[in-house]
Every structure is written in structure tokens, then in C-alpha cells.
Structure 1
């Protein structure tokens, strides 16, 4: 690469970080999550919009973007604990399973309805079916609902989604890569699951040995070690037909259970945020806003389907946990956002050469829901009124102060 090439790359990288930071600060003032703003920055500074162009070719940020994706899933693995499956018990499994059945099933049906292809339909299933754990967590923190009774099943559903994510990505990769015939597809899926099983066994039985390898006092060496492990296993995963992101997830799952897990979480957090911003920014660079107009109708249909399925899932969770209308509305609206996982699927679909309409569809869908979800979640009391029993609960809440006032008067 020439000196000019180096300069252009550094300018693009620096500009991407600065643009993402500026928009994120503006967004935080009006309560918007950062993911849609990072994407918007990429769209505005990309080659497909008029005005200043920061980067002509999104592929120039391909390696940084891939690292952002690896760190995102690595951190998610660090946050996931096998003990979470035990504490939630049967209710968590049922609520999470029903959520996935409703949303993934609706996404698959929607995908076949669109008629873009079988591989594309399976991508739609994941896009419409999986919530954004990053945005969901941010909503819970921003609205002060961490201690609410419905928060535990919300996080339980996220845990079940994480487990499904690992299995889904392992099965999806051979399908969208265009394996020849059922036998070849089955062989690739078998290889993927065998490798995934190997990583799972390492997570279950190799934690002590691996923990000793990562018992490093020096932070600099620890950062180099866990980054090397995450990137290396991500690359090996690709060789076995497993998405690189899920390989990084499994490394995070293993290291999160070691004695160094909490230190690794603290050390990787700023790296995750920085390079994830580049991942979302680079995705925005690849989007042509002109293409969004051609998919706006199916996007709006998908948004309506997602809202309906999430409210239905909220009602199901309420039945399982015995919640009233307000917690039911909180569950349905908090889990509404879609984000990082949908964009991972968009990247996989583009790499596999699937229908080019998928990228603008997913970008529009994520942007709309990532903005709408926090706003709706903050006004979930409006939603509670239209749910079964909501009006009666509202009238009871309004009548109670009146009765207390009359009783005090006597």
C-alpha cells in the first residue's frame, strides 16, 4: 500500500470513529440507542448519498468491521453463563421457546411469502425472530426497570435467544453458502455442529485448564491473549463452516467462566464499543438509501408483524408468570428492538451473494425498530390499556385513590 493509500485509510478510520461519536452524543441527548445512529453515519458519509464522501469502498473497512463483529459476539459469550439456564428453570425455557416459536415462525412465513428464495426466507426468520440484547439491556437501564418483576423473564428470553443463536448460525451457514444437494448440506451442517460440540465440551469440561492459561496478572498480556484466542477460533470456525461470530461467542462463553472472566469483561468493553461502532458504520456505508424505497412496503409489513408477535409473546409470558397488563406490555415492548444480530445476518447474506434487496430491507427494518422500540417501551402504559384486562386495571387504579380519599373523609 502506498503512503497515500495509508493516509486515505487512516482518514477513513478516524472519520468513521469521529462521525460515530458525534452522532452517538447527539442521540444520547434525545434518548436514542447508538446502533441506528452509527448506521445512519455510514449512510450519510458513504458513496451512495450526496455531499462529502468519507469512503468510496466499504470493503476498505472490511477487516475492522469483521473484528467488530467478533468482539460483539465474544462479549455476548462473556456475559452468558450456563448457570442462567438453571436459575430460570422451566418457566424461562417455556417463555423463551414460545417467544422464538412466534417470532422466528412468523419471520420464516414472511420470508416465504416474499418469494425471494429459500435461503433468504431462513435469513428473514432470524432477522424478525431475534431481539437486540444490546438495545434491550439499554432500555431496561434507561427506564429504571432492572428491579421490576418482569425483567427476569425478559432477560431469560434473551438467554434462550442466545442459545438458539448459536445453533441457528451453525445450521444457517451451510444453507446460505449454496451447498450442492441434500447430502452436501447435511455434511456441512454435521461438520459445523461437530465443531460446535467440541467448543461446548471445552466450555463444560475444560474451564479449569483454560483458566490456568489465562491466569495472567499483566493486563496488556491478558488483552493480547484473549484477543488472539477469539480471532483465531473465529477463523478456525469459518474453516469448519461455522460463522466466525459464533466461534468468538463460544470463546467468550469459555473465558467468562474462568477466574479471569470479570477482568476480561472490563478490558474488552471499550474495544467492543469502538470496533462495533465501525461494524455498524461500515454496514451503513454499503446501504444505498435509494434502494430503501423499493423495500419500504415489506419493511412496514415486517414491523407490524414484529409488533404483533411481541405483544402476543408478552401475553404468553404473562400467563406463565401470572403478570398483569402493565408487566405484559413491558415484556412485549422491551423485546421489540432488532439490531446487531440482524446486521450480522445481513453481512452473511451479502457475502453469500443472496438477494441484494436483503441489505436495504434489514437496514430499514433495524433503523425503524431500533428507534421505535425505546419510545414505545417508555410509553408501555398506553399499550397496557389495549391488552386483555388493561382497561379494567386502569379503572381500578383510578378508582382506588377516590375510595381512599372517601375513606379518609369518613
Structure 2
């Protein structure tokens, strides 16, 4: 008789239960994650009247694989360039929310008499919102075109990175079992070091490898290579003391910068869905219904703390970042839930045996409740804003509007800010690379050479020379490379009091490079004479071969930037007007009534109050199109209007998929919404909008003017610019600031 392994039986049972519950949850239009958890509860050890899983150890291994692929998938959607582009509003909102929820969770745990470690993990569980649930709710409610959705997506991107940091810090805390500030600082510095190193190395190597093998990559090969790269980074992360989830997330974010990102995401989706289903089922298997009954009151308390805490913290964060009251309220109520990262943090506590058994099912129960409430909270956000606007003192609302408007203008960087920012990045990046080379040379290269090629002192010398050779281009870039020449020359020539600080900066750069050389030599020889000799030789060599080093470094930098920018850069959600006007992208459907008509025939601005800022037709860009321009099928149109205006005009596009500018691959001409303040020295002062040449100079449209507290949306072209007019222009971001000169 053929014996069927228990693992196969268990997998069949898990997938059968998951399949039935997901069909049910699809039918009742609820998130599939909840269906998986329910399936796990049914086949878990706590319910006896149906077949249950017997080999829990193997299922936990499959679940860990599920976490790896779940984080790999999140990394593919993350992208470091997206993080850079989310802007200050999303970053401030996310940081305020995470900090406040950590405190709220910790204080709530202590207030209920829980242990310190349970309270800390509760704070971590409550601090991260659910990307999956929010995206699903936005799609079902049809609010992705609204301006607050762009801010929410930006917050989720920042939260992904914060969650990874939390995993590392909580792991360190769980192992040390004490609040050692030094250990925490070391863990943070170690994480930052490896994040920078992996990102630089990954962007330099992985896209190059994918380009070189592009002709050999069919779908099957690409799938295998992608999973192999993911698991290799997982091994590397574990090797240096981090969790497998971190390695998977990092490789996903590296691949997200390549031209193959969408293809990899499509190919790995089925694998991710399968293993993620097993992970969420395993989450349900660990729930004891008896605990949920015993801890009904804490579940209710934590649910209320989650909804109110996230609404207040993210809403206040959005207000502090300069968002209007309406956007802040909508953002706060959209983020009021916990999800997949919370499960991973709760699983970490159980795996490390530092949290109580009741914490995990409580987290799952709170997630289930807040998942159900999320769509209703999003629906209620606008009516609740209108209620607040009527209820709050009028001077408060006016003060919030003034603050929001004052933070939305064009900011100019001084030469010092530009220079210091570039010097900081240059120092951090090259220091990380040099330190990595030093440790690779001393801990791996030198033992390999002395053991397998030449032993003794000769082997040490060869290892040292090779390590110095690899370090030299980066030492040159750290110490000698000219950075921001324009800003540097302005400061040197025009500011007689700045030469001293500039000289000090250069001395600091050179001293740091010399320190790294001495640090390297000290790894091989403990005599200072050898260190001094090597430093002198290095200085002489760098000056003699400066041009060759510059050429070699420029080639490496060009390759890195080429790989980094190979995928079309995605525009961040632009800064928004205080009266709810913002940019969005619409696609003209082939069956749309707009097809073939000119803009003057459509009269979109006159009928709906919506401006068309740009049309993308294949590879052709048409910024601020003229009145005789026609719309054709599949044109991508960048429009500007209020939420209600965009909702109305969306129907004209007949099912066209709108995408928020942050997520779209266009425009490629830097079309953004910007604010300028007119004064008596402005070139356009006392000129009309038409005669000012704004359309010709900036490829832009004047979409709003604020004059003495009065707001004029879509002003007439004959309107004259006056002193202290606040003018909102959608146009080329590189040309609009010229109007300030």
C-alpha cells in the first residue's frame, strides 16, 4: 500500500480549507486575508470536529517561506526611489503615526497589567497599517483618484521601511532582554550600513546581470533567477545577523529599480500568493478561540485604541506636514487598521519566546475587526470633515488653511545647503564602500591567499596591496573629487567669510580618507611605521594617477546611475492646493466620446473646471496642449481639478483607469504644481496672464490665484498680476522657479 507523507496531506487540507473560505469571502466582498485566517482556525488544533493539521513543524517552515515571499513582493512594490519621492508630507505623517502608536500600544499594555515585553511588541503591532487592506478598500470605493489617496500611499511606503527597522530592533531587544541604548544604537547603525551597502552593490550588479542575460531569459528562467536572487539575499541577511524577511525585502526593492520589475512581479505573484496563503492559514492555526473569549475586553480596548490612535496620530501628522484639514481627516481614517506586518511582528515575538501566548490571537482579532471597519471609516471621512468644519471654531479652521497654504510654496536651497547635502551623501556612501572593502580584504581575502596561494608575510603584503587597489577609486572620490562645483565656486568667490569653513571641509575629507587607509593597514600590521609608509605611498599615488582614477570612477558612477534610472522614474504626488485641487492621470478609453475631438470642442475647462496639463501619446509628450489638440484612444492625460470635478470628468473617459501621479510612469517633462508669490520686482508684475508668456516660458497654466484672502480658480487670461498675488501654476518644474528671478 502506498504511504502518503503527512506533509502532503496537511497541505491538501490547508489549501482545500483556504480555497473554500476565499470563495466565500469573495462572495461577501471581504478581504481574502480574513478568509485564510478563518481557514487556519478551522484546520487548527483547537477545533476538533473536522480534520486538523498534524505536522505543525513542517507547516511553520512553509509559513516562513510565505513570509519571505510576502516581503519580497512588498519590496518589489516599494522601490527606494519611491521612498525618496514621497516627499516630506508622507514622511512626517508616517513618523508621527508610528511614534505615537508605539507609545499608545506600550502604555495600553502596561495599563492592562501586561509585561514590559508584551507591551513593547503590542506597540510595534499597532504602529503599522495594512497596505493590502487599504488598496483593496480604495479600489472598491473608487477613491484612488482623490488627493488624500496619494498621501496615504506615500505613508504606506515609509511605513514599510519603518516596519523592517522595527523587526530588527525588536529582535535585538528580544535577544538582549534589556533596554541597552548602546546595543540599540549599534543595531541601527549596522542596519543602515548594510542597507546602503546592499542597495549600492545591488543596483550596480543586479541590473547589469539582467541586461547581459536578457536574451536568454524566458519566463521560466526569469522566475527561477528572481527566486534565486531573493533566497541568496536571505542567506546573506541571516549570515550578518538579520532576519530572512529583511533580506527578501531588500532584494525585492533592488529588483524594483530594474526594467524587469513589472515582469518579475507578475511571474512571482502566483508563488507569493500560494506561500502567503499558507502563512496566513498558519496565523489562524495559532488562534485559540478560548483566549479570544477570555480577552474580549482587552481586544475591545486595543481596537478602540487602534482606531482612535491612528486617526489622531496620522491626522495630526498630516496637519503638521502642511496638509489641509480635509486631507488630514481622510488620511487618518484611512490608516486606522493593522494587517500583514502586524502578524509578522506578532509571529516574531512567539518565535523568540518573549511574548505571552495571548498576544498573538489578540492581534489577529484586532486586525479582523479593523479590517471590517476600514471601508466604513473611509466612507465616513468626508462627512466627518464637514462636521468638524462646522463644529470647530472658525479661527481654528482659518489658521489651519493659512498654515497649509504657507507650507506649499517653492523652496530654494542656499549654496551652503546644496554643498553640505552633497558632501554628506558623498561621505556616507564612500565610507560604507571603503569599510566593506577593508573587512572583505582582512577577513576573507587575506586568509584565502595565505592559506591557498602564498603563506607568510608575502601573502599578507599581496592581500594588502590588492585591498588598497580596490579602495583607491573610492578614497579618491571621498578625499579629492570635486562636488557641486557651481555652489562651491559661489561660496569661494562671493563670500569672503566662507573660505575658512570650505578649507575645513576639504581637510576633513582628506583626514577621513587617511584614517581609512591607516585603519586598513592596522588590520594587517600592528606597527605604526607600516601605517605611515602606506599612507605616504597612497597620497603620492592618488595625486599622480588622479586623472586615471577620475576616469575609472566616472565610468563606475555612470554605470550605477544608468542602472538606477533605467526604469522610468515615477513622479511623486505633487504639492496640493489648499482648496482641494490636485493633479491626477486619466486614460482615454477607445470607446470614449472624447476620442477625435479637439479641446475647444470638448470645453472641459468651461464645463467642469478641469485643466489639461499634459498629454502623453506613446513616446510623444504634449505639455499644456493647445485648444486645437485632439484626444486619441489610450492617450494619458494629466488633469488638474478638485476631487468632485475629477470624479465627474472620470465618467467621460468611460472606464479609463486613473492613476495617481506618484504611481504613474509619466510625465517625463517634470510637470508639477507649484506656487509663486508675485512682488514688484517680478518679471510678470502688472502684466496679464496672457501677455506674461507663462504658457510659453514654463509650458504652464495658471490654475489659481489667491489675492487678499480671495481665491480665484481658473482665472481669466486677461487678469493682471498684482503685488503679493499667490499664483498656482502647473508646468515645467525647472522653468517655473525662473519667474522668481
- Which bin holds the TM-score, normalised by the shorter protein? 0.7 to 0.9
Q: Which has the higher strand share?
A: 2
1:167 maps to: 165
Query: Structure 1: which 4+ aligned runs deviate by more than 6 Å?
Result: 390-393
Q: Does the 8 A contact of 1:170 with 1:189 survive in 2?
A: no
TM-superposed deviation, 1:245 = 1.0
2:199 maps to: 203
Q: Which moved more, 1:49-58 or 1:298-307?
A: 49-58
Of 143, 149, 152, 1:151 maps to: 149
1:349 maps to: 349
Q: CA RMSD in A?
A: 2.6
Q: Aligned partners of 2:85, 2:377: CA distance in 1, in Å?
A: 29
Q: Which moved more, 1:10-19 or 1:264-273?
A: 10-19
TM-score, length-normalised on structure 2? 0.49
2:208 maps to: 212
Q: Does the 8 A contact of 1:188 with 1:241 survive in 2?
A: no
Matches within 5 A, 1:159-308: 159-177=157-175, 179=176, 186=182, 190=186, 193-194=189-190, 197-215=193-211, 216=213, 217-308=217-308
1:236–1:122 CA distance, 2 compared to 1 (3 A): farther
Q: Does the 8 A contact of 1:195 with 1:237 survive in 2?
A: no
1:323 maps to: 324
Q: Does the 8 A contact of 1:46 with 1:55 survive in 2?
A: yes
TM-superposed deviation, 1:122 = 1.9
Q: Does the 8 A contact of 1:132 with 1:339 survive in 2?
A: yes
Higher relative contact order (CA closer than 8 Å, sequence separation 6+) = 1
Q: Which moved more, 1:100-109 or 1:337-346?
A: 100-109
Q: Does the 8 A contact of 2:69 with 2:275 survive in 1?
A: yes
Q: Aligned partners of 1:336, 1:50: CA distance in 2, in Å?
A: 35
2:71 maps to: 73
Please state whether the residue corresponding to 1:387 is helix, strand or coil: helix
2:53 maps to: 55
Q: Which moved more, 1:249-258 or 1:24-33?
A: 24-33
1:408 maps to: none
Q: Aligned partners of 1:237, 1:43: CA distance in 2, in Å?
A: 32
Q: Does the 8 A contact of 2:137 with 2:375 survive in 1?
A: yes
Q: Which moved more, 1:375-384 or 1:168-177?
A: 375-384
Cα offsets for 1:362-391 (capped at 9, x unmatched): 121122112222343344445445535479
TM-superposed deviation, 1:311 = 2.2
Q: Does the 8 A contact of 1:150 with 1:330 survive in 2?
A: yes
Q: Does the 8 A contact of 1:314 with 1:328 survive in 2?
A: yes
Please state whether the residue corresponding to 1:64 is helix, strand or coil: helix
1:82–1:180 CA distance, 2 compared to 1 (3 A): closer
Please state whether the residue corresponding to 1:150 is helix, strand or coil: helix
TM-superposed deviation, 1:22 = 2.2
Cα offsets for 1:197-242 (capped at 9, x unmatched): 2243221354132112234422222222221222233244334332
Q: Does the 8 A contact of 2:148 with 2:330 survive in 1?
A: yes
1:135 maps to: 133
1:199–1:222 CA distance, 2 compared to 1 (3 A): farther
Q: Choose 1 or 2 for highest CA Rg.
A: 2
Cα offsets for 1:132-151 (capped at 9, x unmatched): 11111111112111111101
Matches within 5 A, 1:3-18: 4=3, 6=5, 8-18=6-16
TM-superposed deviation, 1:39 = 0.5
Unmatched runs of 5 consecutive residues or more in structure 1? 394-410
Q: Does the 8 A contact of 1:384 with 1:390 survive in 2?
A: no
Q: Does the 8 A contact of 1:58 with 1:286 survive in 2?
A: no
Q: Aligned partners of 2:385, 2:179: CA distance in 1, in Å?
A: 47
Please state whether the residue corresponding to 1:48 is helix, strand or coil: coil
Q: Does the 8 A contact of 1:131 with 1:338 survive in 2?
A: yes
Size of the alignment, in residue pairs? Answer: 388
Please state whether the residue corresponding to 1:55 is helix, strand or coil: coil
1:346–1:58 CA distance, 2 compared to 1 (3 A): farther
2:363 maps to: 362
1:181–1:137 CA distance, 2 compared to 1 (3 A): closer
Cα offsets for 1:165-197 (capped at 9, x unmatched): 1221111111113x26667x9558736752552
Q: Does the 8 A contact of 1:75 with 1:249 survive in 2?
A: yes
Unmatched runs of 5 consecutive residues or more in structure 2? 395-741
TM-superposed deviation, 1:131 = 0.2
TM-superposed deviation, 1:24 = 1.6
1:82 maps to: 80
1:79–1:45 CA distance, 2 compared to 1 (3 A): same
Q: Aligned partners of 2:391, 2:271: CA distance in 1, in Å?
A: 44
1:25–1:119 CA distance, 2 compared to 1 (3 A): same
1:373–1:168 CA distance, 2 compared to 1 (3 A): same
Q: Does the 8 A contact of 1:130 with 1:338 survive in 2?
A: yes
Q: Which moved more, 1:52-61 or 1:189-198?
A: 189-198
Please state whether the residue corresponding to 1:116 is helix, strand or coil: coil
Q: Which has the higher helix share?
A: 1
Cα offsets for 1:260-288 (capped at 9, x unmatched): 22211111112111211110001111211
Q: Does the 8 A contact of 2:141 with 2:375 survive in 1?
A: no
1:38 maps to: 36
Q: Which moved more, 1:40-49 or 1:365-374?
A: 365-374
